[in-house]
Structure 1
Amino acid sequence: MMPLRISRGTFLAAALAIAMPAFAAQKPAKRAKSAARSTAPTPRSAMAKTDTAQQHFDSAQTYQLAGDFDRAAKQYRRAIAIGLDHLGNLRAARQDYPGAEQLLQQAMAADPDDPDPAVDLAITELYSGDMPKAETDAKTVLQKNPDHFRARALLGKIDFLQGNHQAAADELHAALGLATDFDIAYSLALADLELKKTSLAIVLFDEMKNSLPETAQLHVLIGRAFLATGYPQLATREFEHATTLGPKYPHVHFYLGLASLLSARAPDVPRGESQLELAEAEKSLQEAIRLQPQDLRAFFYLGQCYTSEQQWAKAADAYRSVIKLTPPAQQMDAAMAGAVEGLAEALRKLGKNEEAAAESAKAQRIRATLQNDGASAAGSDTGKANGDSNQQELHSMMLRPGDSKPYDARAEAAYTKSVSLLLGQAYHNLGVIDARASRYTQAAEEFSQAAKWEPSIPNLDRNWGVSAFRAQKYDEAAGPLERQLRRTPNDLSIREMLGLCYYMGDKFAESAETLRSVLGQLPDNAGLLYAAGVSLVRSGDAKNGARVFSRMLEKNQNVPAVHLMLGQAYAQEQNYPEALAEFARALELDPHIAEAHYYSGMVALKQGKLDTSADQFQQELSVNPGYIPAEYQLGYVRLQMREADAAIPLLQDVVSRQPNHSDAHYELGKALLEQGKVKDAIQDLETSIRLHPTDYGYYQLSVAYRREGRANDADQAMVMYQKFRPKPHLPRQ
């Protein structure tokens, strides 16, 4: 049976009428220091983004001081979006894609009119492996912003990665027409090469050479493009030029060796020229190994050179170096399989058949494992086992055409520190604007965001707590109000709101402790006084509780809600005569007041007066139709009066409208069981147990199972009944 409840609905509006503190805006933020250039997937300057965010923040404060709050809010949102967007890109740069996506989504929410965060989110999705989502989001941006060159370039890259090179070329060409950009031009050249439009690609590369400083890096990038798309001779020229500009540029000798090897293998190359190319490949790969002795890719291709030259002993040594240098985590991948197969071939040629057979068996085991795991049997990493996978190389270059810089944790930390103050103050001032416009729910969320970025902002806890309180988010309001009250213990309005928050969360002891010292200062607010009185009584301070209730009665003798509140308080203290008198007085003043008949019925039920309680619950439903507590209690009383036919429809209506009402399911199941409707009874009893396990629920379920012939289930339910059954108190020996 449901216990007596304390109703809050009747006094909530009155409680909210307590004094509303003013909201304080924040002074202008100090200009954030610029951070280093971003290493995020979208290589845009952190300095530019910081300065742009600061400019919008400064504009917002100007508008706010002038009283133009709509424009101020728009500028604050713009500043927030820019800061969060760049932070998201920095998270993506260190491959924290979930964190990046969260920040970028917040940026989109802050300023839905800015397409940049949406594009960066799509880029992050592409990097995290969700290409379909990235494509959908890029197209969504283009529907609203058809001239957004970054979105169009992204869509072109996605088309390329999906193998649709003509569509990629079309999108990238359109993007290049909107903005001159190295990344887009390079990606377009790759698409042209895949379409065998070599002359168009060469034109683009020549434009790059004419407009950019001549460096080894540039020639290596162009050479890699030629190499990955099947033009090793053109690639060789670029790598050779790169070696003259930077003999120690990373990997330049490796790429030159690989290009020479592939040129030697070309079907239309004369044998003599092929031998020369193999010699050049061997020379370049040996130089690559000299500069980077741990480069297993160079050893692998050196092994292939020796294989082509039939220098089997040297080939075997090269493949053994690959196997030795391969990390333990990659010992069972396609790269290792290719190296082991190469070693096995060399050993066979050297006449070491037993060793060759062992290596072949090892390679077969690796291939079988890869196949069982669903991995490709072909080489999957650039420069490993079965040669450079052109598709993998192109995929890498399409996503990162330039040489990727290492992630700079200090740059991210510096930017995060500089932008956190701006974000915190922007969110805070935006919250002030919304709170002053009575948009308290929105304001509370903005203040909570401000606290995440800069919790030391003056007045933040006060503004946040007040807004959350006004939005009736009492659990959220309690934290900032607690902190604010510790700072300003004499702030009566903060203390009142905190006391009400505790009360609304059934934390009566905390509410009483908060309000006890200022009982004499509390305003004549019925809701606030009632909360104070109930909290005091429920926490054991009946003397002070009585003082508060007497004051309420003196000030509000003819207000029905006050008598209803007093009646509930008396009922809680089991002072039933006084409770009934207060409920009667409330009904005398307002015959249609909600819950007065209900609580009168609950008192009668406690007194064992079933007829009276049923009549009161019925009257409650006549003035308060559909009130579930009254309908449930009426059904319960009908069952106690052996009127199951009248009770069952009431309880069925309760569970249909409130499916998580465990007591109603229990009473309904019990009634159905008594009528012999065992299957229906089991369904409701099981639901009751699932919602709220009780000893009496398991007992009735055990009875129902046994009547159904489910002996094992009945025994199990009885075990649970014994588990939940209260243990008798044993006296001490």
Structure 2
Amino acid sequence: MPITLPAPPDTSRLPEELTRRIATTHATLTRADAPLASLGELARLYYANGFHAEAAPLVDHLITAAPDDPRWPYYAADLAQQEGNIPAALAHLETTLRRAPDDPAAHLKRAELLLKIDRPDEAAPHYLARLRSIPADPYAALGLARVALARGDSTEARTRLERLTTDHPDFPAAWNLLATLVDEAGDTARADALRRRGQDAGRFREAPDRWFDELHPWCFDPYRLEVLGAIRMQSGDPAAALPLLERALRLAPNDVSIHDSLADVYTQLDRFDDARRTLETGIAAAPAEPRLPIRLAELLLRLGRRDDALRIVADTLARIPDSPELHNQHGVVLDALGRSDEAVRAYREALRLQPGQPEAMLNLGKSLLATDEAAGFALVSRALELRPNRIDALVLLADRETTAGRLDAALPYVDALVRLAPHDPGVRTVVASWHLRRGSEAARAGRVDEALTAFRTGLSFDPELPELHGNLGVVLVQADRYAEALPAFERLVVLAPDNATGHLYLGGVLVRLDRTPEARRVFERGLATARKAGDATLERRLRDVLARLPADSPR
């Protein structure tokens, strides 16, 4: 079947290699004996580089010319969907599935489109077909939950979502939809907790699609490749981002943004030498751009090479003396070297060049804390106003207010940290400390249930904090709940073996539970610990307790 080729598009903004490939393939197709593979080559070149108007007639022709290949109707469905022509997209997907009846990508895409136009009963079989190809697939499982909702069956939807979040805890869409259903049922507290789990799980990730991935070798648009790499990065898959960004850099070797992104991928993969070389190459290509020297200095600091980091920043400042970002990074490196006075001057210079720069303001505030705490915290607070989601500023302020016993003042910072970075180790420590203080305050006031809740919540953030276990055990003992107190004191002794008081508490609970032989051994270990620590008061107390213990029953 003859075809009229579209005129080649303007590719002047793209690498010259694409222009050559299009011209060569286009010339081949003007011959009468042109192979069908050349038409597929040109269609892929247009489609992969975003020239959809030129790609569409070629793809349509290939649907007929290659009647056994499911790719072309699949690509035609995508082109139709991008134009908003859902009926045409569905028809092309039907053709795809006639050629590849078990293809999971086509089943998912057709199901999503059918659900979008409120045809859930037709969508369901396609989700089930995908599950047959990919058992426990989260995208199909989510789709079936949405089908249940479209049918008005919220019970089935919740059951499917509960199972999905258990099987795939890193799938954010399931948590978010479940949170919506729980919220609609009136359980606001649980809905908020579920939304936090959704945030923890990260960004939604599109389902893998091998037919789209096949097109990457035909893509010569560095920006498009960088975006594809960024999507993989945001999905938590730096290994998949790597070939896309490496290809983008080969096509645009002077692009600072791509150097930056690729170095980030190498760093996440612990390929630090490759990250360093990528940044150094980028600096050589764009010596007047401060972003890459800053990233290189950060990398060198991470690797413990502080003097090299200082050299990089100093050399770059000689070329770009008016960059506030560079002066800020200069301060960071000087702080790491223990040269605090010079760091303060660097931060002040950054703020002189760019008044109100949050990074420099925060770093100056942190640097001043040792010499002028009030001024330091004022700057940290001001930086947080400008950047409300700065974790390090929130940690500093939450810790300050908690340590000072101003728990209500600390609470907004604690809540923000739990919302933004619940798995960050520093955040978990600060949040656990806040709950320890809150629980201790409640215990002193006799609010037992509130105290227990606070201590247990604290342990969910930092299960290795001995004070939380100790305080939890004490409150349980005061409530005569000895069996519940036992594991708290057992864990306390494991975490703080040199704390003789923990042995005293644990032994006391064992006595209450009529486990005298075990209690004796615990008291004796506590006695040895107190003696070693030189704590005469605790040593006498443990001797008295041991003297009052009844004799062990004969075995």
> TM-score, normalising length from structure 2?
0.50
| 8 A contact 2:107–2:130 mirrored in 1 | no
| 8 A contact 1:80–1:110 mirrored in 2 | no
Structure 2 counterparts to residues 24-43 of structure 1, below 5 A: 28-29=39-40
Correspondent of 2:108 among 69, 92, 105: 105
1:86 aligned partner: 98
Give the Å deviation of 1:579: 2.3
| 8 A contact 2:414–2:431 mirrored in 1 | yes
Change in 2 beyond 3 A, CA 1:586/1:112: same
Structure 2 counterparts to residues 216-365 of structure 1, below 5 A: none
Structure 2 counterparts to residues 553-632 of structure 1, below 5 A: 553-605=317-369, 607=370, 610-621=373-384, 623-624=386-387, 629-632=392-395
Letter in structure 2 aligned against 1:670 = L
Give the Å deviation of 1:538: 1.8
- Which protein has greater RCO, CA pairs closer than 8 Å, 6+ apart? 1
1:670 aligned partner: 436
Structure 2 CA distance for aligned equivalents of residues 673 and 112 of structure 1: 49
| 8 A contact 1:466–1:477 mirrored in 2 | no
Change in 2 beyond 3 A, CA 1:584/1:128: closer
CA offset digits 1:628-664 (Å, max 9, x no partner): 6434422422444xx31xx312321123334334233
Structure 1 CA distance for aligned equivalents of residues 409 and 97 of structure 2: 55
Structure 2 CA distance for aligned equivalents of residues 540 and 128 of structure 1: 48
Change in 2 beyond 3 A, CA 1:452/1:128: closer
1:654 aligned partner: 413
Structure 2 CA distance for aligned equivalents of residues 594 and 504 of structure 1: 26
2:265 aligned partner: 501
3-state secondary structure, aligned to 1:29: helix
1:716 aligned partner: 487
3-state secondary structure, aligned to 2:408: helix
Correspondent of 2:460 among 670, 675, 690: 690
Letter in structure 2 aligned against 1:566 = H
Structure 2 CA distance for aligned equivalents of residues 23 and 77 of structure 1: 32
Structure 2 CA distance for aligned equivalents of residues 584 and 128 of structure 1: 59
Letter in structure 1 aligned against 2:460 = R
Give the Å deviation of 1:530: 1.2
1:255 aligned partner: none
| 8 A contact 1:669–1:684 mirrored in 2 | yes
Correspondent of 1:467 among 227, 239, 258: 227
Correspondent of 1:699 among 464, 467, 490: 467
1:538 aligned partner: 302
Letter in structure 1 aligned against 2:393 = A
Structure 1 CA distance for aligned equivalents of residues 307 and 91 of structure 2: 55
Change in 2 beyond 3 A, CA 1:59/1:517: closer
Give the Å deviation of 1:586: 2.4
1:485 matched to 2:241: no
Structure 2 CA distance for aligned equivalents of residues 495 and 632 of structure 1: 32
Give the Å deviation of 1:445: 5.6
3-state secondary structure, aligned to 2:209: helix
Unpaired segments of 5 or more residues in structure 1? 1-18, 32-45, 92-98, 142-441, 728-733
| 8 A contact 2:398–2:414 mirrored in 1 | no
Structure 2 CA distance for aligned equivalents of residues 529 and 558 of structure 1: 14
What is the Cα-based RMSD across aligned positions, in Å? 5.5
1:13 aligned partner: none
Structure 1 CA distance for aligned equivalents of residues 209 and 131 of structure 2: 26
1:633 aligned partner: 396
Give the Å deviation of 1:513: 4.6
Structure 2 counterparts to residues 2-41 of structure 1, below 5 A: 28-29=39-40
Identity %: 15
Structure 2 CA distance for aligned equivalents of residues 489 and 127 of structure 1: 37
Structure 2 CA distance for aligned equivalents of residues 671 and 111 of structure 1: 54
Change in 2 beyond 3 A, CA 1:513/1:634: same
Letter in structure 1 aligned against 2:399 = Y
Give the Å deviation of 1:703: 2.4
Change in 2 beyond 3 A, CA 1:137/1:631: closer
3-state secondary structure, aligned to 2:356: coil
Give the Å deviation of 1:539: 1.8
1:449 aligned partner: 209
| 8 A contact 1:49–1:86 mirrored in 2 | no
3-state secondary structure, aligned to 1:592: coil
3-state secondary structure, aligned to 1:525: coil
Change in 2 beyond 3 A, CA 1:680/1:77: same
| 8 A contact 2:290–2:323 mirrored in 1 | no
3-state secondary structure, aligned to 2:309: helix
Letter in structure 1 aligned against 2:333 = A
Structure 2 CA distance for aligned equivalents of residues 510 and 682 of structure 1: 50
Who wins on radius of gyration, i.e. which is larger?
1
Structure 2 CA distance for aligned equivalents of residues 562 and 635 of structure 1: 29
Alignment length (residue pairs): 367
1:548 matched to 2:551: no
1:524 aligned partner: 288
CA offset digits 1:154-192 (Å, max 9, x no partner): xxxxxxxxxxxxxxxxxxxxxxxxxxxxxxxxxxxxxxx
Letter in structure 2 aligned against 1:81 = L
| 8 A contact 1:534–1:545 mirrored in 2 | yes
Give the Å deviation of 1:706: 0.9
1:336 aligned partner: none
3-state secondary structure, aligned to 2:291: helix
Give the Å deviation of 1:499: 0.7
Unpaired segments of 5 or more residues in structure 2? 1-12, 23-37, 43-62, 133-142, 152-202, 499-555
| 8 A contact 1:60–1:75 mirrored in 2 | no
| 8 A contact 2:111–2:127 mirrored in 1 | no
Structure 1 CA distance for aligned equivalents of residues 71 and 394 of structure 2: 60
> TM-score, normalising length from structure 1?
0.40
Letter in structure 1 aligned against 2:379 = Q
Structure 1 CA distance for aligned equivalents of residues 213 and 72 of structure 2: 19
3-state secondary structure, aligned to 1:524: coil
3-state secondary structure, aligned to 2:357: coil
| 8 A contact 1:598–1:620 mirrored in 2 | yes
CA offset digits 1:271-311 (Å, max 9, x no partner): xxxxxxxxxxxxxxxxxxxxxxxxxxxxxxxxxxxxxxxxx
